Amino acid sequence: MALQDKYAELLQTATTLGVANLASSEQNGVLHISGTAKSTADYDALWALYDKIDPNMASGDLMMNIDIKADAGAQLKVTTESTNLNIRSTPSTEGEIVGKAAHDEVVTLVEKTDDSWWKIRTADGEEGYAFAQYLSPL
């Protein structure tokens, strides 16, 4: 249970922030944590805490599989580094590019297709799949 102690502050904060379905379990020297944060701000706070407890998150002893609550119709901000986000016809990089969303543009969530691809719609009505990593619920 040493890892539970190492990341006690993180687990405590997750509880305080009301992370839904919070679960944690240690396996083969890795602490697995899962749950759904209420907001992007909460999510960022937890990740900042992880980086503080384990500098550069280099130990490889925490799997923080926390997502952010977002239902269909939620507003998402495009959080690419600076480039446009491709919108594709299918949930894969093989999919044809059917549109683009600009950096910092706000789009609407249609459905969470899977872990990595979400179906979105832009204000211009372009609809398709985008890489979820670059979408942050507002």
Partner 1 sequence: MKLTKLLLAVVVSATMLFVSCKPKDADIKANVEKALKADPTMASTTVDVKDGVVTLGGECKDDACKAHCEETAKAVKGVKSVVNNCTVAAPPPPPPASLSTTIDAAKMQQVKDGLKDMAGVTVEFVGDKAVLKGAVTKAQRMTIMQLLASAKVLSDVTGLTEKK
Q: Which is nearer to partner 1, 12 or 65 (CB)?
A: 65
Residue 42, H or E segment: helix 40-53
Q: Does 53 bind partner 1 (CB under 8 A)?
A: no
Q: Does 22 bind partner 1 (CB under 8 A)?
A: yes
Q: Does 40 bind partner 1 (CB under 8 A)?
A: no
CB-CB contact of 22 with 7 (8 Å)? no
Listing from the earlier edge strand, what are the strands of the sheet with 75-78?
A: 97-101, 85-88, 127-131, 117-121, 106-112, 75-78, 135-137
Q: Does 33 bind partner 1 (CB under 8 A)?
A: yes
Q: Which is nearer to partner 1, 83 or 123 (CB)?
A: 83
Q: Does 122 bind partner 1 (CB under 8 A)?
A: no
Question: Which single residue is written with the structure tokens 């602490």?
Answer: 31
Q: Interface residues with partner 1 (CB under 8 A)?
A: 21-25, 27, 30, 32-35, 47, 50-51, 56-58, 60, 63-67, 80-81, 83, 92-93, 115-116, 131-133
